[in-house]
Structure formats: structure tokens, C-alpha cells
Amino acid sequence: MTVTASVNTRIQLSVKGASQETTCGTSLASGPWEFDKGMPEYGPGASVADAIPANSPVQSQIPATYREASDEELHERIVAAKKTLGDSVVVLGHFYQRDEIVQHADYLGDSYQLAVAATKHAEAKAIVFCGVHFMAETADVLSNPDQSVILPNLAAGCSMADMADTDSVEECWAQLTELYGTEPNAQGKVPVIPVTYMNSSAALKAFCGRNGGIVCTSSNAKTVLEWAFERAERVLFFPDQHLGRNTALSMGIQLENMPLWHGRKALGGNTEQTLNDAKVILWNGFCSVHKRFSVSQIEKARVDFPGVRVIVHPECPMDVVLAADENGSTDYIRRAVAAATEPTTFAIGTEVNMVQRLAAQYPQHNIFCLDPVICPCSTMYRIHPAYLAWVLEELVAGRVVNQISVAPEVQANAKVALERMLAAKPSV
Ligand code: 13P
Ligand code: SF4
């Protein structure tokens, strides 16, 4: 059955006992300021059990007038502030944002589209990024120096991005370059190139920029790996092992040539032989939202809905991607649903806010999330309308709060790696 209420509404009903649906945490029904009291944590949702780095940004308490305002009041305040600010502000929103935020976004997209959108609004003095920290950093790197990028809740990080810290990646790189050397082979290819998923700190994007590497998103990972293999014998891919493995597999690379690099172990826990045979060295990171999807959920969907079309995001584990009918980025999933001409049942393996929105937008189809438990991305969910109202009204008052500024020396190299990605074209 297609359910069209917003995810937040479904959570509120479930926690009150007014619906039979289950959530992965009753505290999802609270305002995020309940978790923003000074302790860094990912908060309830899919990443609740992930260890958060000690130095993670913390959101200070926003004034009570926002925390205590009703949903209707916050909505009206956001609309009024945006009207006053006009073109001087642009609000970008990721597909995983809650509906109560998405309705205020001037531009909605996946991480690639939003990175491009950040370069296209020179008229805006402020870019309010309703997404997570690494996306706001990318917008800061790609936008003009006189524009401010604002993240409405500073605690909206990403547990996957945090799984690769600069020191550990530098240490891995030192070991790899000692093993392989740095000299190009007879075809002019260097031994290894670093590729970072967009879901990483600006510092790691800068690391890639400095070391001949590049950034990818889930919508261009294959194109970017092709770019890398034109220049290198191997790739070091971080932080998402699943996107790396699923993409490499789709390019015909064998699993035995994709060793996993474990943290700070010598040779990442591998032998020299394994690393010499490697084509893609995978960092041991993952997304806790997409790790929730399983083959048994797909099998159940196929029993319950014969003919169901199963589409999952490539951040899902390999067995899930192989059991699905299709896999692709959030925008791929959106386009696949939009293009279906006949009423279709879609079982989708990606963040529940996006799946819910598709179900509401396309009532001619039966669209449901493969995971029966309502479990949003902990950090995307940290962007509540109270924070959006607060940052916008601060702008109206002439104050920029929650600005994300990437240090100039990091900016320059991160931009090199991002621009390589923006210029990379698929092979024909
Ligand atoms: P895309 O927007 O590239 O599909 O990535 C999904 C995601 O997990 C963003 O954090
Ligand atoms: Fe990070 Fe996964 Fe949330 Fe995306 S969905 S922000 S990868 S934890």
C-alpha cells in the first residue's frame, strides 16, 4: 500500500502508538535540539550506533522561539524570511531531507547536482545547504569567495565520511607508495591514484587533488574510475567500500583484485602479493542507512509483489545490489520512477524520506522502502525547519550563522580534485 504522509508524520504517529509502523528509535520524534546539547553524537536514526570522532562539530542551542514554535509557525517564518531575502539567498536541498525542508528548497538534487548548483547562483550572497557537512564544504569550495555557505545544523555530519580521517589515509598512502614506488610504467601509468567519494572531508578531497586523484559521486563513479584507470594501474578508493566494490564489479574487475584496507594495520591487513595484484583497494567505510538493506527484504518483496521492480542505491552491500533489478544514484532512482509509463510496484533501497516523497509524487505506482522499519539518515534528519528558520532570520537581520568555511590551502587542492570530476566524461 502506498503511504503518502511525510516521514516525520509517520514517526510521530508511530511513537504516539497511533500507527502500527515501527521506527528505529522513539527519540526520532523529538526536535534535534534534544541531541544538540553539547555532546557530539550522530543522533537517532541509522547512524546512532556509529562512533563519532571526538572533534566533530557541535550545534549550539537555538533560541526557544524556534524550538517551541509550531510546524505551521516555522513554515510561515521560513516563507517570510525567504521572501525578504529574495535572490540574495539560495536554498539547496538533498533528496534525503525531510519534506518539511524540501518544500523550501529552491533546488533539490543528488550530491553531484547540488555541487553543480552551488556554482550556478552567483547572484546569491548566501547558499543555505540543507544537506550534510561534506556537501556544504563542497559548495564552499566551488562557489565564489564572496558567497557564504550555511549549514543549518552544524551537527549534520556523515558517519560514512567520518570513517576516513586524513591521518589514516595519509598513512595508507605512505605504505602504498613505498610498496609500489611512484614511477610510471611503460604505458605512462602511475602505480596508484586516490579516488574519494564525495562523502568525505574537504581535507581528503585536497589530498586527492595533491596526489593526482579525483572525486566521484554515486552518479559518476564508473566514469571517474575509467578516468583513473587511464592514468594509473590501480585505485585507492575511499571511504565507501560498497560503492567502490559495486562499481568496480560492474566494470568487470574481479573481487580478488579488490582487497579491503583495514584502518591502521600494516599493509591494511593485506599481503604484498594481494596489494600487487590489486586493481581497486577499498577503504573499510560504509553508510549505515544503506547497510540496513538485505537480500531477504528483496526476496520478501518478490514474494509479496510478483513483478516488483527492485532498485537500490550503490552504497548498498554487493549481495543486495546483485539481488536487485537495478542500482543507481538517488537521481537515477528518481528518474527511473518518473519514466515508468505503466502502473508499477517499486521496492526501493535508499533513504526513506526520498522513497516516501516518490510514493507521494507518483500515486499511480506502488512505491515502498525495502526496509520496513522507519529509519532515516540520522544526520540528514538533523536539519529541522527550526534551524532553517533560524539561519534565514539571522540573514534577514544581517548576520551569517553556521558558516562553513574551508581553509584556503585546503580549498585550492580540493577544487583541483572536484574540477577533475566535473570535467570527466563517460567513455563512449
Ligand atoms: P547521492 O546523492 O550521490 O545519490 O548520494 C547519496 C548519499 O548517501 C548522500 O549522502
Ligand atoms: Fe552519510 Fe549515508 Fe547519511 Fe548519506 S545517507 S549522509 S552517506 S550516513
| Ligand 2 atom 6, closest CA | 158
pLDDT value of residue 4 = 66
Both 294 and 281 in one domain: the answer is: no
Give the count of alpha carbons within 13 A of 423, CB side only. 8
Q: Does the CB atom of residue 351 touch ligand 2 within 6 A? A: yes
SS (H, E, C) 46-58: CCCCCCCCCCCCC
If you write DSSP's letter for every residue of 141-166 in order, what string do you get?
HHS-TT-EEE-S-TT---TTGGGS-H
CA distances from 263 to 180, 252, 283, 328, 388 (A): 19, 27, 8, 28, 37
Q: Are 261 and 281 in contact (CB under 8 A)?
A: yes
d(CA 205, CA 232): 18
Residue 152 maps to a domain: yes
Closest-lying ligand 2 atom to the alpha carbon of residue 199: 7
| Global model pTM greater than 0.85 | yes
Specify if 305 maps to a domain.
yes
- Identify the band that residue 37 occupies on the pLDDT scale cut at 50, 70 and 90: confident
Residue of 108, 218, 358, 382 to test ligand 1 pocket, by largest number of atoms within 8 Å of CB? 218
223 lines ligand 1 (CB under 6 A): no
Rounded to a whole number of angstroms, the distance between the first and last alpha carbons of the chain is 41
Return the C-alpha cell found at 329: 544514484
**Of 322, 342, 160, residue with least CA distance to 239:** 160
Q: State how far the alpha carbon of 272 is from the alpha carbons of 42, 107, 163, 210, in Å.
A: 37, 47, 24, 25
How many residues in total does the chain contain?
A: 428
Mean pLDDT is lowest, of 38-47, 93-102, 182-191, for 38-47
Distance CA 175, CA 47 (A): 30
Q: Are 12 and 66 members of one domain?
A: no
Does 258 share its domain with 322? no
Q: Which residues contact 215 (CB under 8 A, 6 or more apart)?
A: 195, 196, 197, 198, 200, 205, 208, 224, 417, 418, 420, 421
Among 135, 377, 378, which is best to mutate for testing ligand 2, by the most ligand atoms less than 8 A from CB?
Answer: 377
Question: How many angstroms separate the alpha carbon of residue 330 from the centre of ligand 1?
Answer: 6
48 close to 378: Cβ distance less than 8 angstroms: yes
pLDDT of residue 2: 47
> How many other CB atoms are found less than 10 A from the CB of residue 145?
7
Mutate-to-test residue for ligand 1 from 129, 198, 216, highest number of ligand atoms within 8 A of CB: 198
CA of 290 to the centre of ligand 2 (A): 8
* Ligand 1 and 113: CB distance under 6 A: no
Is the domain of 363 the same as that of 294?
yes
Kindly report the protein residue whose alpha carbon is nearest to atom 1 of ligand 2. Answer: 158
- The amino acid sitting at 427 is S
Residue 428 lies in a domain: no
3-class SS at 358?
helix
295 and 282 in a common domain: no
Confidence of residue 428 (pLDDT cuts 50, 70, 90): low
3-state secondary structure of 297: helix
Q: What distance in angstroms lies between residue 302's CA and the mean position of ligand 1's atoms?
A: 26
Domain range enclosing 135: 31-158+379-397
d(CA 130, ligand 1 centre) in Å: 13
**Are 59 and 123 in the same domain?**
yes
Does ligand 2 come within 6 angstroms of the Cβ of 156? no
User: What does the block give as the cell for 232?
Assistant: 594509473
Q: Whose CA is nearest to atom 2 of ligand 1?
A: 110
AA letter at 248: A
Q: Is residue 406 part of a domain?
A: no
Please check whether residue 86 lies inside any domain of the structure: yes
Mean pLDDT of 44-67: 95
Starting at the earlier edge strand, list the strands of the sheet with 126-130.
107-109, 89-94, 126-130, 148-150
C-alpha cell at 185: 610504467
Same domain, 211 and 171: yes
For ligand 2, the distance from its centroid to the CA atom of residue 397, given in whole angstroms, is 32
Count CB neighbours of 218 within 10 A: 25
Query: 209 and 416 in contact (C-beta within 8 Å)?
Result: yes
Question: Would you state the pLDDT for residue 250?
Answer: 98
The 3-state secondary structure of 165-191, one letter per residue: CHHHHHHHHHHHHHHHCCCCCCCCCEE
**Chain position carrying cell 594509473:** 232
**pLDDT, tens digit, for every residue of 253-312?**
999 999 999 987 899 999 999 999 999 999 999 999 999 999 999 999 999 999 999 999
In 3-state terms, what secondary structure has residue 370?
coil
Whether ligand 1 lies within 6 angstroms of the CB of 47 is answered as no
Strands 309-312 and 345-349 turn out to be parallel
d(CA 149, CA 147): 7
Query: Distance between CA 128 and CA 148 in Å, rounded?
Result: 8
Q: What would you measure as the largest C-alpha separation in the chain, in angstroms?
A: 68
Number of domains comprising the chain = 3
Q: Confirm whether 274 is domain-assigned.
A: yes
Q: Which of 320, 351, 325, 164 is nearest to 242 (CA)?
A: 320
Ligand 1 pocket, residue 218 CB under 6 Å: yes
**Reported confidence tier of residue 334, pLDDT bands at 50, 70, 90:** very high
Q: Which atom of ligand 2 is nearest to the CA of 287?
A: 2
Q: How far is the CA of 401 from the centre of ligand 2 (A)?
A: 24
Residue 402 covered by a domain: no
Task: Tell me the DSSP string of 287-312.
Answer: -TTGGG--HHHHHHHHHHSTTPEEEE
Closest residue to atom 10 of ligand 1, CA basis: 199
- pLDDT tier, 210 (very low <50, low <70, confident <90, very high otherwise): very high
The residue whose C-alpha atom lies closest to atom 2 belonging to ligand 2 is: 287
- How crowded is the C-beta side of 403, counted as CA atoms within 13 Å? 15
Please indicate, yes or no, whether residues 11 and 69 belong to a single structural domain of this protein: no
The pLDDT of 128-148, averaged and rounded, is 97
Q: Whose CA is nearest to atom 7 of ligand 1?
A: 111
126, pLDDT greater than 70? yes
Mean residue pLDDT of the chain comes to 96
| pLDDT, tens digit, 9 for 90 and up, residues 339-358 | 999 999 999 999 999 999 99
226 shares a domain with 324: no
The CATH number of whichever domain residue 272 belongs to comes to: 3.40.50.10800
User: Closest ligand to 293 CA?
Assistant: 2
308-329 mean pLDDT? 98
Question: Is there an atom of ligand 1 within 6 Å of 378 CB?
Answer: no
301 and 204 in a single domain? The answer is: no
Rounded mean pLDDT, 113-139? 96
**In whole angstroms, what is the distance from residue 94 CA to residue 129 CA?**
8
Q: Quick check: is 404 in a domain?
A: no
For the purposes of burial, counting CB atoms within 10 Å of the CB of 284, is it exposed (0-12), middle (13-18) or buried (19 or more)?
middle
* Together in a domain, 205 and 150: no
d(CA 421, CA 204): 14
Please tell me if the CB atom of residue 159 comes closer than 6 angstroms to any atom of ligand 1.
Answer: no
The bound ligand whose nearest atom lies closest to the alpha carbon of 46 is 2
Stretch 310-336: mean pLDDT, rounded?
Answer: 98
Assess whether 237 and 281 both reside in one domain. Answer: yes
Best probe residue, ligand 1, of 42, 289, 329 (max atoms within 8 Å of C-beta): 329
